[in-house]
Amino acid sequence: MTSTVVRAQGLVKRYGSFTAIDGIDLALEEGRIYGLLGRNGAGKTTVMQMLTGQLFPNAGRLEVFGRPPAEHADVLRRLCFIAEAQRYPEDFTPAHVLRAAPWFFEHWDAAFAERLVADFRLPVKRRIKKLSRGQLSAVGVVVGLASRAPLTFFDEPYLGLDAVARHIFYDRLLEDYAEHPRTVVLSTHLIDEVANLLEHVILIDEGRILLDRDAEEVRGSATSVAGPREVVERFVADRPVIGRDGIGGLASVTIDGRLDRADRARAAELGLELAAVSLQQLIVHLTGTELTGTPEKEVAA
């Protein structure tokens, strides 16, 4: 039986008169990988800071492992938060960070950390302030993975990491997660890269949750229909349209929901092309400003 590690109801966070988080509800289950997605400024970091006890909500109820996180050291000990721009004491080297880590994380695996250091080719004796941007991100990734914290947050963890290093991160995360299940929340803009890694997707937009769904359900939950504009428009009439693109007489319309066999056969008869919409495309549609676009307001592909 899975248990709920985070329960939030009606969370609100205001910065002065600006409401960054506008009453969100969340339930994060044990042993799942969550994608916390959304455009710049959507509120992802603010949510993670509240869940890790770094920020107090202005309103709402929040329980992490059954308690308000900020007030309970035993809850905080089970969390790991890797921020986008992790800060370390002046003159620290990665070796210092790795030596200090077991003080903070009871499940710390030093051998795993060492292997990750080799994977990322991290110069452990070099001062952190001299590291390249990608190497600095790698320090955070190593700590986040080797901490094996029951609830681990990676907030856009890989600024500057090259494609090889990012794939090492995904591989090691999946491999280690299979052996040591825990709850991981990953915030990223590289949605297509992580799409297959995520088990659940939470999409935030302007401080509200737009989507909170099993990733499997989300994958293939929208379809794009492409072909001559008139034919496409006839086919999608009365269906829930979530995006429109096109140029000249050609249109590509994204509709919410799966098509059944009869619909697919009809589309084939009409010579229309159907394609599953990727998670990234879906999120662009759901959070994009062209969302309300009419066929006249077309965007060239």
Ligand X SMILES: Nc1ncnc2c1ncn2[C@@H]1O[C@H](COP(=O)(O)OP(=O)(O)OP(=O)(O)O)[C@@H](O)[C@H]1O
Can residue 41 be called a binding residue for ligand X (CB under 6 A)? yes
For residue 248 the two structure tokens come to 């000249």
Whole-number Å distance between alpha carbons of 151 and 84: 17
Per this entry, what is the length of the chain?
301
CB nearer ligand X, residue 20 or residue 113 = 20
Q: What distances in angstroms separate CA 211 from CA 1, 24, 77, 227, 268, one per listed residue?
A: 24, 11, 30, 29, 31
In the range 62-81, which residues lie near ligand X by CB under 6 A? none
Can residue 194 be called a binding residue for ligand X (CB under 6 A)? no
Can residue 160 be called a binding residue for ligand X (CB under 6 A)? no
For residue 225 the two structure tokens come to 């229909």
Can residue 94 be called a binding residue for ligand X (CB under 6 A)? no
Q: What is the largest CA-CA distance in the chain?
A: 68
Q: How far is the CB of 52 from ligand X (least distance, A)?
A: 13
Can residue 56 be called a binding residue for ligand X (CB under 6 A)? no
Q: How far is the CB of 215 from ligand X (least distance, A)?
A: 19
How many other C-beta atoms are found inside a 10 Å radius of the C-beta of residue 281? 18
- Which of 11, 26, 33, 38 forms a contact with ligand X (CB under 6 A)? 38
Tokens 């856009």 identify what position?
A: 156
Whole-number Å distance between alpha carbons of 11 and 25: 7
Q: How far is the CB of 41 from ligand X (least distance, A)?
A: 4
Q: At what angle do helices 110-119 and 133-146 cross, to 10 degrees?
A: 150
- Which of 3, 17, 40, 289 forms a contact with ligand X (CB under 6 A)? 40
Beta-sheet strand order (sheet of 200-205): 79-82, 151-155, 183-187, 33-37, 200-205, 208-214
Whole-number Å distance between alpha carbons of 149 and 95: 20
Q: How far is the CB of 105 from ligand X (least distance, A)?
A: 24
CB nearer ligand X, residue 22 or residue 119 = 22
Can residue 15 be called a binding residue for ligand X (CB under 6 A)? yes
Tell me, by CB under 6 A, how many residues bind ligand X: 11
Give φ, ψ of 212 to 5 degrees: -145, 90
Stretch that binds ligand X, among 34-42, 57-65, 139-147, 243-251 (CB under 6 A): 34-42
Can residue 17 be called a binding residue for ligand X (CB under 6 A)? no
Q: How far is the CB of 45 from ligand X (least distance, A)?
A: 3
Give φ, ψ of 143 to 5 degrees: -65, -45
CB nearer ligand X, residue 11 or residue 116 = 11
CB-side neighbour CA atoms (13 Å) of 101: 30
Stretch that binds ligand X, among 13-21, 22-30, 167-175, 220-228 (CB under 6 A): 13-21
Whole-number Å distance between alpha carbons of 202 and 205: 10
Q: How far is the CB of 165 from ligand X (least distance, A)?
A: 20
Can residue 42 be called a binding residue for ligand X (CB under 6 A)? yes
Q: How far is the CB of 26 from ligand X (least distance, A)?
A: 14
Can residue 157 be called a binding residue for ligand X (CB under 6 A)? no
Interacting residues toward ligand X by CB under 6 A? 15, 18, 20, 38, 40-46
